[in-house]
């Protein structure tokens, strides 16, 4: 404590250096804790044992900064009383209030009439918290009789979460207990416990009940409750009540969530009344480091349900991956497998291995796919495919070695399909590419390539498969992409190449290719673009039908274009030398204003058949304030019908919006999408009635615009209700 003599000395000098000595006195009590500095831009006085400052007062202690209009500092009690427009900042968080009592020794205090704003992961607007009293200490704050909302003004929000006690852990989470959801003064929902995460990357878990009806479940209600604990864990308990399939209960629990490590599990069970089977889902996810730069990921799931034949179908999935990152290289390996039992067994797996290093180092890759379908008596189908490659890139050269066996995709399913080819192999193939521009001279923009490979394919001949195999030698010359300015005559861009393929069976082929573009400006707004594309094979036919195909083409196209302000015009056509036919003449005109009105018309005319082929157009207009109309259509002159018609009308008037969208497919003669909605905009939330004639769905919706998801939905549709935790992977889809 400061001695009386020291106080008298400070009192005599305070009139000379007020801000300096107020800060020194604050630090005298701050040696036990972190030092606190108090300054003021206004008037400073000393009254007994207290210092009083009025006008622009400020306290800084570590990451805590407090500003107010005035303060009183009780030196003996080590308390600072702030009053008038109080603003406390701790890191990225800010709290406003009418008054604040702050303990310098413990860095704790109490704020009156507090207002806090937080940026929460996944929430589009700030989350505001109000409370008559907030008690805070390092690492925690408690709000009594508090409210949470995303609405403005926060003193009279349209909706809010009301709680007698809200615990705030800065940078971690907000815990709200015994929560009432209040809309327009009426309590609509109740949660015993709600957690709002403040951590980056951790989602907040505020979810509303979902009520609806569909063809499989009948009427259903889904309710989920988020929770925290035990320890640092958190999760979500889910209850599904369905009219036809009974009641399902489940939990998604995360027991570890750290920046470099995460673990969670899923469990769900439903006594399915529709099938008489107990549906079960179990899942586990693990991600953790083994050492610096080395990380492991594991995902597994097991689920059972009734199969199409009524028997139980069991499925197990496993994904295991490892990643190694250094400043010089990156290595990743993953294996995924899925096995299904239903009378027989069906197993599919995929393995991937990738290694890449910095420039000049060796990179390699390996992919393996397997499939087996068998019963207790016999093996029905089996497939194995792989691709392995190693690449060495240096200054001016690339060397690649490849070993591959591809199999037709139909062989990786139990469907009885007999494809035209069964497998294609390269065992092995080596290719070397030399960049003469870097190796010899910048005046030689040329790449040379040589290679050799052993190719094989299984072709279907009648009902049998016959293998064809041969060695193939490659030699290639490629002109690197470049351009040449022709001054007033425009610019020419070019690329070309030639390749020779020699087979051990005696055949020899040459493949020539070229891609050229020519652009000619025609005044300020007009330009002409010409494109020539060519690829053709000469010599003997390849001994392979599928492993060594060459897509041949030769065509020239031209486009005349006008672009000036809101108007653009173009006219294009061309000639296909390969098929000896003129390409359609296509014209397009577009007009767009700064107000958003846009009109586009396009049409095509067959020069070969001397008739129009199609006409299309789209328009977006704003006929008056609040109105927006869009429409597009495409008419096929050969079918003499519209391929597609799409339209949208939106009308907004004070507090309301009416939307209607429809898409008609003329080929299938059916509406493929459509929706009509009447929405009441309440500022931070919306209430709407929505109808989808395609899905035969009607929904009454309530949505808080700041929160992700559809909000509360009550209605009916043909959709299925599925318990869908994060999918393990789409690798088998």
Which pTM was predicted? Answer: 0.66
The H-assigned helical ranges of 409-488 are 436-439
Residue 177 is part of a domain; what is its CATH number? Answer: 2.60.450.10
Q: What is the pLDDT of residues 122-149, one digit of tens each?
A: 677 888 888 888 898 887 888 888 888 8
Q: Would 367 be classed as within a structural domain?
A: no
- Number of domains observed in the structure of the chain: 1
pLDDT value of position 221: 82
What pLDDT score was predicted for residue 91?
74
**Is 238 inside a domain boundary?**
no
Say which residues have a Cβ less than 8 Å from residue 668's Cβ, sequence separation at least 6.
Answer: none
Mean pLDDT of the chain: 85
Q: How far is CA 269 from CA 25, 205, 238, 313, 363, in A?
A: 65, 22, 10, 15, 46
Report which of 211, 229, 161 is spatially closest to residue 190, judged by C-alpha positions.
161
CA dihedral 450, 452, 453, 454 (to 10 degrees): 160
Residue 123 lies in a domain: yes
Token pair for residue 443? 């005046």
Would 172 be classed as within a structural domain?
yes
Burial 345-373, CB ≥16 within 10 A → b, else e: ebbbbbbbbebebeeeeebbbbebbbbbb
* 11 falls within a domain: yes
Q: Do the beta carbons of residue 181 and residue 188 sit within 8 Å?
A: yes
Give pLDDT < 70 ranges for the chain: 1-33, 92, 120-122, 198-207, 214-215, 359-360, 708-733
* Rounded CA separation 257/205 (Å): 15
Say how far residue 475 (Cα) sits from the centre of its chain: 43
Which residue matches tokens 């095509």?
Answer: 604
Q: State pLDDT tens for residues 457-476.
A: 999 998 889 999 999 999 99
- Residue owning tokens 């690492």: 139
State the DSSP H helix or E strand holding residue 21, giving kind and residue range, or none if neither: helix 18-28
Residue 561, classified by CB atoms within 10 Å of its CB into exposed (0-12), middle (13-18) or buried (19+), is middle
Domain presence at residue 74: yes
pLDDT recorded at residue 708: 64
Domain containing 72 equals 4-181
Cα four-point dihedral sign 148, 152, 156, 160: negative
Residues in the chain: 733
**How confident is the model at residue 17, as a pLDDT?**
38
In angstroms and rounded to an integer, the radius of gyration of the C-alpha atoms of the chain is 36
Residue 435 lies in a domain: no
pLDDT at 432: 96
Strand-pair category, 712-716 with 210-214: parallel
Q: Where are the beta strands (DSSP E) in 358-490?
A: 362-374, 379-394, 397-407, 421-435, 446-461, 464-485
Domain presence at residue 65: yes
| 281 three-class SS | strand
Alpha-carbon gap, residue 10 to 18, rounded angstroms: 10
């Amino acid at each position: 404590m400061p001695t009386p003599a020291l106080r008298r000395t400070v009192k005599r000098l305070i009139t000379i250096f007020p801000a300096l000595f107020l800060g020194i006195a604050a630090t005298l009590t701050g040696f036990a804790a972190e030092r606190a500095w108090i300054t003021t831009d206004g008037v400073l006085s000393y009254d007994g044992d207290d210092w009083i400052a009025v006008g622009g007062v400020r306290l800084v202690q570590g990451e805590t900064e407090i500003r107010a209009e005035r303060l009183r500092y009780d030196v003996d009690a080590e308390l600072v009383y702030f009053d008038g427009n109080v603003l406390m900042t701790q890191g990225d968080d800010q709290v406003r209030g009418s008054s604040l009592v702050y303990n310098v020794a413990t860095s704790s205090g109490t704020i009156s009439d507090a207002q806090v704003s937080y940026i929460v992961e996944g929430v589009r607007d700030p989350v505001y918290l109000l409370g008559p009293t907030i008690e805070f200490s390092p690492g925690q704050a408690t709000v009594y009789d508090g409210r949470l909302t995303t609405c403005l003004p926060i003193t009279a929000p349209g909706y809010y979460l009301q709680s007698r006690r809200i615990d705030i852990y800065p940078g971690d989470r907000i815990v709200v207990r015994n929560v009432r959801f209040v809309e327009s003064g009426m309590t609509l929902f109740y949660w015993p416990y709600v957690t709002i995460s403040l951590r980056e990357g951790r989602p907040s878990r505020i979810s509303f009940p979902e009520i609806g009806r569909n063809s499989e479940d009948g009427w259903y209600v889904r309710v989920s409750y988020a929770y925290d604990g035990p320890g640092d864990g958190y999760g979500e308990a889910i209850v599904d009540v369905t009219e036809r399939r009974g009641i399902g209960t489940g939990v998604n629990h995360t027991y570890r969530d750290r920046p470099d490590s995460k673990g969670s599990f899923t469990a769900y069970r439903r006594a399915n009344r529709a099938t008489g089977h107990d549906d079960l889902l179990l899942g586990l996810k693990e991600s953790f480091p083994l050492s610096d730069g080395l990380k492991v990921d594991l995902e597994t799931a097991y689920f059972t349900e009734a199969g199409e034949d009524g028997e139980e179908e069991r499925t197990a999935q496993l994904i295991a991956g490892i990643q190694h990152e250094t400043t010089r290289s990156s290595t990743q390996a993953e294996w995924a497998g899925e096995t299904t039992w239903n009378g027989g067994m069906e197993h599919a797996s995929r393995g991937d291995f990738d290694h890449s290093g910095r420039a000049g180092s060796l990179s390699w890759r390996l992919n393996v796919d397997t499939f087996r379908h068998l019963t207790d008596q016999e093996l029905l189908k089996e497939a194995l495919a792989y691709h392995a490659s190693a690449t060495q890139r240096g200054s001016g050269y690339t060397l690649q070695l490849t070993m591959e066996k591809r199999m037709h995709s139909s062989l990786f399913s139990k469907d009885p399909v007999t494809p035209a080819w069964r497998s294609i192999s390269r065992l092995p193939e080596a290719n070397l590419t030399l960049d003469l521009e870097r190796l010899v001279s910048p005046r030689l923009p040329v790449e040379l390539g040589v290679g050799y490979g052993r190719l094989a394919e299984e072709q279907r001949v009648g009902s049998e498969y016959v293998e064809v195999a041969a060695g193939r030698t490659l030699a290639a010359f490629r002109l690197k992409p470049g351009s040449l300015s022709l001054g007033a005559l425009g610019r020419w861009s070019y690329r070309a190449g030639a390749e020779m393929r020699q087979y051990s069976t005696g055949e020899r082929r040459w493949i020539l290719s070229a891609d050229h573009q020519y652009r000619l400006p025609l005044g300020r707004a007009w330009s002409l673009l010409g494109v020539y594309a060519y690829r053709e094979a000469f010599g003997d036919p390849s001994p392979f039908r599928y492993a060594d195909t060459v897509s041949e083409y030769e065509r020239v196209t031209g486009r005349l274009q006008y672009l000036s302000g809101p108007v653009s015009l173009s006219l294009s056509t061309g000639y296909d030398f390969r098929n000896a036919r003129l390409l359609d003449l296509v014209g397009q005109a577009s007009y767009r204003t700064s107000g958003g009105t846009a009109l586009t018309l396009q049409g095509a005319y067959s020069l070969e058949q001397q008739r129009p082929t199609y006409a299309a157009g789209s328009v977006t207009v704003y006929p008056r304030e609040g109105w927006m109309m869009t429409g597009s259509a495409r008419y096929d002159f050969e079918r003499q019908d519209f391929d597609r018609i799409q339209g949208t009308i939106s009308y907004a008037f004070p507090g309301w919006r009416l939307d209607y969208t429809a898409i008609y497919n003329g080929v299938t003669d059916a509406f493929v999408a459509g929706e009509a909605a009447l929405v009441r905009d309440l500022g931070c939330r919306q209430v709407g009635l929505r109808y989808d004639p395609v899905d035969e769905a009607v929904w009454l919706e309530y949505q808080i615009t700041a929160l992700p998801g559809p909000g509360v939905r009550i209605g009916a549709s043909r959709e299925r209700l599925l318990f869908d935790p994060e999918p393990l992977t789409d690798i088998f889809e």
